[in-house]
A and B are shown apart, each in its own frame.
Chain A
Amino acid sequence: MGDYIVLAISCIFVNNILLAQFLGNCPFLGTSKKMETATGMAMAVVFVLVLAGIITWLTNAFILKPFNLEYLRTISFILVIASLVQFVEMFLKKSMPALYAGLGIFLPLITTNCAVMGACLINIKEDYTFIETVISSFSYAVGFGLALILFAGVRERILLARVPKPLQDTSIGLITAGIIAMAFFAFKGMV
């Protein structure tokens, strides 16, 4: 149990997927301009990443490994994730329009989000067990969401500040993200 908690903390804070592993930066900058969007995106990532973690782990353990097809990991994972996301999107749109409005619209963005793909690959690389995979996927996603929401909070204010023209928008966003990454150094070595 303790190990799992350590794993979770490690994935959320110490090895934060955005700020320490540099995965998922495009949507990080794109969807952090407003708090609402950031929250929606964070939720969607949690949802998809857990699903994707599970399904890729299964693919890897039951198909790729036994048949020695590990070199097909990249292509099979991306296909599986893309199909899964699209399926979920269509499903939500039809059956739960309310949920779709809050969360589903972010799903396409996740298809090509390297955070999802990267987290799945890390899970395999680190040889996690199934339960560890679920926990790490969830925690990575939470870490992503946390960073995104905190960033959005700061960014909402920066958007209103008198940032010099050439620095506006993406440029200042990146610098802020850098400072946030630095602030996350606080967690270094905590696991």
Chain B
Amino acid sequence: MHKQKKYIVSHAPFWHDGSRLTTKNYHIMLAVLIALAAGIVKYGVPAVGVIALSVSTAIFWELIMNKITSRTATIGNGNAALTGLLFAMMLPPTMPWWAVVTGTFVCVIIGKEIFGGLGGNPFNPVLIGMAILMIAWKDLFDFDQALINYDFDYLVLYPLAALKHFGISSIESLSAIDLLSGKQTGAIGTTFGFGLILGGVYLIIRGFVRWEISVSYLLGIFVTAFIFKSADSATYAGPVIHLFSGYTLFGAFFLATEDSSSPVNFIPMLIYGAAIGIMTILIRNIGVYVDGTVFAILLINLANPIIDKIRPKAMGRAV
């Protein structure tokens, strides 16, 4: 047998545009930095603690699961870290350590790994963690309660909870600018609206998240809230409050756009976003939960495979 040089052989194509999962995940992390920094400034050391714990345990759980299923370690692609980071941003800074650890466990293992890892998950892993924690330890998510020891120079109020429990009169004083600049109570990373919008727009421009989903989501919120407001302005808050409080902006840019649980075709993306928006307002206005974002996205995640069946006819297809 004569010796020959061995070449790398594969089927076409031989070019790749260089896009990587890893790049995407790290850029999303980059995009939340401003909002995250605002949260850390606002809440101080406890927030840093929660974030660090969340990110590290998320990576840890993924590594454990990789070992158990004897697959190559996937923590390098940054997805576990991203999951941990997004999860931490949705928590109040006072979250006890055991709740954070349980939460990341649920996110990474139940939410993602048991479905075969990234790409197999039919639901947004972060939201599964959030939802299960919210059901299990409701009290921990009472932001007003949680932040009682903080001293801020503005009205310490979680707008959506106030709306739910004390009626619209209690939040009339809040302006859009106040809300966007973070003068509201809320989770670590979700109160600084400017930061979130900036990050979201960056991601959209870079193509890491789809504008269709974010825009239709925000539109859905706006329109539904507007309809409610016009129907009964004494009971229901206007679109501005809904858009800029709670997890709305965070959800629009970082949660609803999670690849695996969202549609890929144009029209389905619009439907998907709008449906989440509508559902969010429905829960906030007539449901039991203070902030409907988590459950609304989960619910529409569920409908994603059905919605995504609306797709253009492929070339040459007979029917």
Contacts and interface: CB of A to CB of B under 8 A. Distances in A.
Are the chains A and B members of one assembly?
yes
- Measured as residues with beta carbon below 8 angstroms from the partner, the interface class of chain A is 20 to 34
Given A186-B292, A188-B289, A161 B120 contact: yes
B265 to A, nearest CB: 15
Given A176-B122, A188-B288, A150 B116 contact: no
Contacts of B122: 154, 157-158, 176
A161 B121 CA distance: 8
Contacts of A172: 114-115
A190 interface: yes
Contacts of A156: 305
B44 interface: no
A163 B114 contact: yes
Contacts of A149: 306
Given A183-B299, A184-B299, A190-B287, A162 B117 contact: yes
Contact of B305 (A154, A167, A182, A187): A154
A183 B116 contact: no
A189 B164 CA distance: 13
Given A182-B298, A188-B288, A157 B110 contact: no
A150 B299 CA distance: 10
Contacts, number: 85
B287 A153 contact: no
Contacts of A180: 302
Contact of B286 (A153, A157, A161, A190): A190
B312 to A, nearest CB: 19
A150 B302 contact: yes
B131 A190 contact: no
B120 A179 contact: no
A130 interface: no
A180 B132 CA distance: 12
B116 A153 contact: no
Contact of B128 (A158, A163, A179, A188): A179
A185 B289 CA distance: 9
Contacts of B288: 188-189
B117 A182 contact: no
B295 A186 contact: yes
Interface string B262-298: 0000000000000000010011001111001001101
A153 B306 contact: yes
Interface of A is mostly: helix
A164 B120 CA distance: 11
B280 to A, nearest CB: 9
Contacts of B68: 164
Nearest to B69: A164
A137 B288 CA distance: 25
Nearest to A168: B116
A53 to B, nearest CB: 27
Contact of B115 (A163, A183, A187, A188): A163
B132 A182 contact: yes
A90 interface: no
Contacts of B110: 175, 179
B287 A167 contact: no
Contact of A182 (B69, B131, B303): B131
Contacts of A179: 110, 123, 128, 298, 302
B190 interface: no
Contacts of B304: 153
B54 interface: no
A159 to B, nearest CB: 10
A75 B4 CA distance: 81
Given A162-B116, A162-B117, A179-B298, A185 B306 contact: no
A145 to B, nearest CB: 12
Contacts of B301: 183
B258 to A, nearest CB: 14
Contacts of A164: 68-69, 113-114, 116
6 contacts: A150-B302, A150-B306, A158-B115, A172-B115, A184-B299, A186-B299
Given A176-B122, A190-B282, 14 more contacts: A149-B306, A156-B305, A157-B122, A162-B117, A164-B69, A164-B114, A172-B115, A179-B128, A179-B298, A182-B298, A183-B298, A183-B301, A186-B283, A187-B287
